[in-house]
Amino acid sequence: MTKKPSPSIEAWLKEAKADPSARNVGMYLVHNGTVRESAKARVRHGEDVADVTGMEFSYDEAKVEAAIAEAYKLPGIYYIKAWLNEGYLEVGDDIMYVLIGGDIRPNVVNCLQSLVETIKTQCVKEIELNN
């Protein structure tokens, strides 16, 4: 499995603004997760662990689609698009992009936080690698 080319956020926004739902959208918010050098265990728990040199990343497409379907049920959400990479990723590579369009900032921020959390905890497999 090899990593995929990253999408154009400019193209995504153009597509979103051309969608019929755009008339209800007052805000678009984008999440771009990337592979960082500092290990998750160090960042989240202060553990003394080696730097990350890369990551093996995979995801369950059906689970991602189900998570998106649930996110559409949140108040004020009219547009969602997600892209996830796969394969061996190097530090700095894109892991995922998520675009949310909704009526007001609190609804959009809440949806983005909820959807990214669901994807990260229920839909993907990340294995940090180090030398």
The structural domain count of the chain equals 1
Residue pLDDT, tens place only, 12-30: 999 999 999 999 999 999 9
* Within-domain flag for 98: yes
Sign, CA dihedral 119-120-126-129, equals positive
* Within-domain flag for 36: yes
pTM of the prediction?
A: 0.93
Residue pLDDT, tens place only, 29-71: 999 999 999 878 677 888 888 899 999 999 999 999 999 999 9
Q: Which domain holds residue 103?
A: 9-129
CATH number at residue 73: 3.90.1170.40
Place of tokens 């839909």: 123
- Of 5, 16, 9, 34, the C-alpha closest to 80 is 16
